Amino acid sequence: MSSEHLLLRETVAKEPRFKASLLKVEDSASFNQVWTTTGQRFASLRQFGAGLATVRPTTSRVEADFSFMNYRKDEFNSALTDFSLEGDLFARQRKDLDSLLACLHE
């Protein structure tokens, strides 16, 4: 999937019409409306995004995600709910997401 992510970034950089079609999508567009602009390309990324957008956090899922990131609960976040911890995971990904948005607006 990381190769598909790289391909998406390259496509945005090298195909002005593709980039323009993404930028035309309204902020209020649904998940499916946004991905419709990519056609059948980037199917794995679409599936991954759908999973992130629809899966409710559970204790085992959150713990697995944190383990994958080599991150452990400390004394400050041990009392947080799984939903709050999932938010922490997303916050840690912000740098990558900002990089993607910057790529779109270049």
CA distances from 101 to 9, 66, 70, 83, 104 (A): 10, 25, 26, 25, 5
Global model pTM greater than 0.85:
no
Confidence (pLDDT) at 17: 92
Instruction: Give the pLDDT confidence of 12-70 residue by residue, as tens digits.
Output: 999 999 888 888 888 888 888 888 888 888 888 888 777 766 656 666 666 676 666 66
Amino acid at 79: A
Q: Under 8 Å CB-to-CB from 1, ≥6 apart: which residues?
A: 44, 45, 48
Q: Which pLDDT belongs to residue 80?
A: 61
